[in-house]
Structure formats: structure tokens, C-alpha cells
Structure 1
Amino acid sequence: MRVMRETVAADGSAPPPAPGAEQYPALDFANSTVALPGGHYLDFLGTAEAAGQWLAERGLAPVDAGIREMCAAQLRSLREQIRALLAARLDGAPAPKGALAAVNDALTRAPAASLLHWNADRGLYRAAAHPTDQILDHALAALAADAADLLTGPDADRLTACGSPPCNRYLLRHGRRHWCSTRCGDRARAARAYARKTAQ
């Protein structure tokens, strides 16, 4: 059996976003761990520094937020719970109770209402409370709310998993496309061609 290897860009860059990930940050969040051929994984939340960079690049935290490992661990935990909900949705299975509880907990961590503020330059204005010690809570709440919107909204029926093993990413299906990237589509087509050739 031929082993097909896939390399990661030398600069450590992420694969291109899966279809739908730009529309739903929670989908991008769920895909922040990537299974690669050969039993390798990329985890873009794997360290506190990487998690801070991931949040900053998506406008969910300031660049200098100083995310600690405990915060990165909370992000990774919520990611796994959201992945469990996505998987249950695709399997037509009941939503896992622990995953529902984790998402609901994250939803209630940040105030939902924008508070009224006064500034001499701006006058009265509304803004969400966002003290430094609540940066992670706001990020978790935003990702959980987006996941809830995806799972209950009109795009939920388009949700699918990448059809190119071992890829573990999710995407929103467009037409017949069931791959998260051209790379995965090429790998799936090559595997099918190889299977046909060896079956002859």
C-alpha cells in the first residue's frame, strides 16, 4: 500500500480555511486541530502563545492579551465540545449532554448587553464590558454563540465532514463538494484511482 505524505508549510501556516469557516468562526475554531496523513496532527491552539495568536488573528483578543496555558486549555476543551456537537449533528445522534453544558456555560460567561458609557469626546455610547481579565470569557462566549447559530441556523443542513481520510475538518457543503481543500480533494481522487487500479 502506498503511503501518501502531506507536508505542512515550512512557516507553520495553517491550511486554507475550509468552506464556511470564514462565515462561521466556530467552524474555523473546530478546525483548529488538523489530522494529517501519517498520524500527524497540527494544533493551532496547542500552546498558550499559539492560542493567543489564533485569537488575535480573528479579532477575539488583543495581540498582547498574554494568554496563559490555563486559558489555552479552556479553549481546547470548548473546541472538543463543539466538535462533539458537530459530529452528533452529522450522525443524527442526540447532542452529548456534556457538550451542551460546556457550550451553554461559555454562552453565559460574558454579558450579553452592551453597557452605557460616557466619554467627554464621544458623549454617551454603548459598548460591551471587556476588561482584560474577561478577554477569554468574551472569546469563549463569541465562539459558543457562533457554534449555536451554525448548529441551529439554515446552514446546519450544509454541514459535513471532509471526505478525505484522515482529515478531521468540517465544512459547509457547496454542491457535491465534500472536501475541505483542494489538497484533500486531490488526495481522495488519487486514493480512488489507486483503488481502481489495484482492483483490476
Structure 2
Amino acid sequence: MERWLALELASTIRHDGEGGIADDLATVPGATRWIQECGDLLAGRVPAEFAADEDLRLRIVEVREAVRALFARAVRPAQPSPADAHRLMPVDRATARLNAAAALEPVAPQMDWPADGAPVARLLSTEDDPGVRLLAALARAVIDFLSGPQRPRLHSCTAPHCVRYFVKSHGRQGWCKPSCGNRARAARHYERRRAVAEGGSAPT
């Protein structure tokens, strides 16, 4: 399954499996663990054993707040994730925060043109601080995601208790994963049985 760094960041707020909400970035160790788990998506922006501190954790959370506000806009007119739908920041503020984070790392395009191949472009960073590189990489990943072909396929999972955003892999997909689909079908079945038992008509 394809992974996107922007989606991984948004999904650090998730259902905890027991009816509540878990936050993978709630603590410094949690933030460090998440960064290391996303090492393949960060493409060497931070060292393999990089550890966050409290200041960096808070700054990552700020970027996540912007991401989830913009994801909520992207899925309109559908409902956003219920995890934070009541406290989303305004879209213009989220956009400004994201752009500011993306601009933290100065980069310059560089071209390599091997004798036996085609020219290849890459971005050369002049930033020494891996925390700054991380924040900029997260913000740029979100910008690429929301300006790319994935945005129209972005949806909020409607299964009971789920708070994830996901990218549809096919047109009829309604949930982020099969277990959410099973839970949604079970909830509908329960509601139909309850309506019939109460003498009403079963919901469709």
C-alpha cells in the first residue's frame, strides 16, 4: 500500500481501539518513535537515530494542526474527521502556517548530468539542523499532497469511532481499512434490528 508522509502525519491522531482517541505525538518519546517509523518517507532528512525534544514535538504538532484543518477542507462537502472537527483552525491560518514551515529550510536546485545518462535534478539543503529539515520536509510533503492527484481521492473514514483520513484506492471504497468496513456494517445491522424491535421501519 502506498504511503504518504502528509497522511502519516494526519494519522498520528487515531482511534485507540477502546472507544477513545490516541495521539502518537503526545509525548517526546512518542514523537521520536513516529519520526523513526517514517524514516523511509523522510528520505534522509534526519539521522536514523534522531530524537525529538519538547520544542520540536510542539512544532510538529503545530504543522499537524494545519494539515488536519486543510484535510477537512479537502473532503468537503463530506464531514471531516470527528476527532477535531470542533476545533479546526481557519484555512487561511493553516495555509500560512504550512507555508512558513516549508520555508524554514533554504534549498537550491542542483543538476547532475552523467556522461551516459539523462540530467537529474535534486534539491541541495544549506540547513544543518535536522529538526528544521524535518519540519520543512513535513510541510512540503503536505503541499505536494494537497496540490497533487491524491487530493480528490482523500476522504474521512465514516466507520464508528474511526477518525482517520485516507486515500481511496477504488471508487466504491468507503472506509480506511477492512476492519472499519466490518464495524460500519455491524453498526448498520444493529440499528436495523433495533428499529424493527421498536416497531419502526428499518433504516436504509
What TM-score comes out, normalization by structure 1 length?
Answer: 0.75
- Number of the residue aligned with 1:68: 53
DSSP 3-state at the match of 1:28: helix
Asked if the contact 1:115/1:129 (under 8 Å) is kept, the reply is no
DSSP 3-state at the match of 2:57: helix
* Residue identity in the other structure for 1:188: A
- Number of the residue aligned with 1:58: 38
Flag the 1:52–1:147 CA change in 2: closer, same or farther, 3 A. same
Unaligned runs of 5+ in 1: 1-18, 117-125
Q: How far, CA to CA, are the matches of 1:72 and 1:114 in structure 2?
A: 29
Q: CA RMSD in A?
A: 2.4
Unaligned runs of 5+ in 2: 79-89, 112-122, 197-204
Fraction of identical pairs, as percent:
35
Flag the 1:92–1:151 CA change in 2: closer, same or farther, 3 A. farther
- Of 81, 85, 107 in structure 1, the residue corresponding to residue 102 of structure 2 is 107
* Residue identity in the other structure for 1:34: R
State whether structure 2 residue 134 is matched by structure 1 residue 139. Answer: yes
Q: How far, CA to CA, are the matches of 2:167 and 2:96 in structure 1?
A: 25
Residue 42 of structure 1, CA deviation: 1.6
Q: How far, CA to CA, are the matches of 1:37 and 1:58 in structure 2?
A: 22
Structure number with the bigger relative contact order (C-alpha 8 A, sep ≥ 6) is 1
Flag the 1:97–1:72 CA change in 2: closer, same or farther, 3 A. same
State whether structure 2 residue 168 is matched by structure 1 residue 188. Answer: no
1:1-200 residue pairs with structure 2 within 5 A?
22=3, 24-36=4-16, 39-59=19-39, 60=42, 61-91=46-76, 96-113=91-108, 127-131=124-128, 134-173=129-168, 174-200=170-196
DSSP 3-state at the match of 2:21: strand
Alignment length, in residue pairs?
169
